[in-house]
Amino acid sequence: MRFNNKWLAVLLLLTVMPLSGCGFMQKLRARDYLNKGVKAFTDQKYDAAAQYFQKTLEMDPDFEIARMYLATAYTSQFVPGSTDPKSEEMAKRAIETFKEVVARAEDPAKANKDAMLSIASLYYQLRQYPESKEWCHKAIAIDPNNAEAYYRIAVMDYDDVSEKTGIQGENVEFMTPEEKETAKANIEEGLENLAKALEVRPDYFDALEYQNLLWREKAKFETDEAAKAELIRQADMVALQSLELRRKAMEEEAKRPKKLGI
């Protein structure tokens, strides 16, 4: 039996119409779940928000903003330092979901930088510094002017070193030669990354504050008193510069019109 072109066109139209309608309704439901998730998140009902965002993705797996929201809802249920197993589970779920956001980018060179830094932040709060640094470097690879990524690397370097040296450097004499070399390498890595961050953002007062802290750490390993004094002098100078920039930023913030909550 043969169909003429007219009847074939009608048959195809009848076949496609229900599918199109179904797809439209599914996307409409996905949007509804997304809106409910945003409302729940705004109300600080993060578990409910995550469930709505999951339903959004079930309805529309390509709804990428919902995936980002889902990861954020998981992050909001993570409490750094908590011994509650659920807290760490939420951090792991957030990391995996943010990784999905990055992996699903159409162009890897334009992957979501916010997702990358969120992964780095979560690993940092879980005290998994190598993994955190890895994601900072990934963010830098697609955006060499990412001042925050450089800064985060330096913060981890400082944390690593300061935990070993002691507040006044009292533990330095008890460190092994290998530990000292590692600490010195971390200090230099941190200072190099802060220099890059400040090259991008000269008014980055947080970066200046950690430059101050790392120079003080470097001074703890210096045996020449004149050289040590010079490092402390440099640290004092950038500490004052950081305070001044912070003060100016706070003044500018105070001048901005306040937004009324609805």
pLDDT of residue 22: 52
Residue with tokens 């998994």: 128
**Separation CA 232–CA 226 (nearest Å):** 10
Helices 147-165 + 129-142 axis angle, to 10: 160
pLDDT tens figures, 89-106: 999 999 999 999 999 988
- SS3 of the chain: CCCCHHHHHHHHHHHHHHHHHHHHHHHHHHHHHHHHHHHHHHCCCHHHHHHHHHHHHHHCCCCHHHHHHHHHHHHCCCCCCCCCHHHHHHHHHHHHHHHHHHHCCCCHHHCCHHHHHHHHHHHHHCCCHHHHHHHHHHHHHHCCCCHHHHHHHHHHHHHHHHHHHCCCCCCHHHCCHHHHHHHHHHHHHHHHHHHHHHHHCCCCHHHHHHHHHHHHHHHHCCCCHHHHHHHHHHHHHHHHHHHHHHHHHHHHHHHCCCCCCC
Superfamily per CATH, domain 25-126: Tetratricopeptide repeat domain (1.25.40.10)
pLDDT tens figures, 148-173: 999 999 999 999 999 999 999 999 99
**Separation CA 247–CA 186 (nearest Å):** 30
**Who contacts 247 (Cβ-Cβ below 8 Å, separation ≥6)?**
none
Q: Which amino acid is at 161?
A: V
- pLDDT interval class at 18 (50, 70, 90): very low
Q: The whole model's pTM is what?
A: 0.85
Q: Residue 9: is its pLDDT beyond 80?
A: no
Q: Residue 23: is its pLDDT beyond 80?
A: no
Tokens of 27: 């996307």
pLDDT of residue 26: 86
pLDDT tens figures, 38-87: 999 999 999 999 999 999 999 999 999 999 999 999 999 999 999 999 99
pLDDT tens figures, 122-153: 999 999 999 999 999 999 999 999 999 999 99
Neighbours of 83 (CB within 10 A): 7
For 99-116, b where at least 16 C-beta lie within 10 A, e where not — what string? ebbbeeeeeeeebbbebb
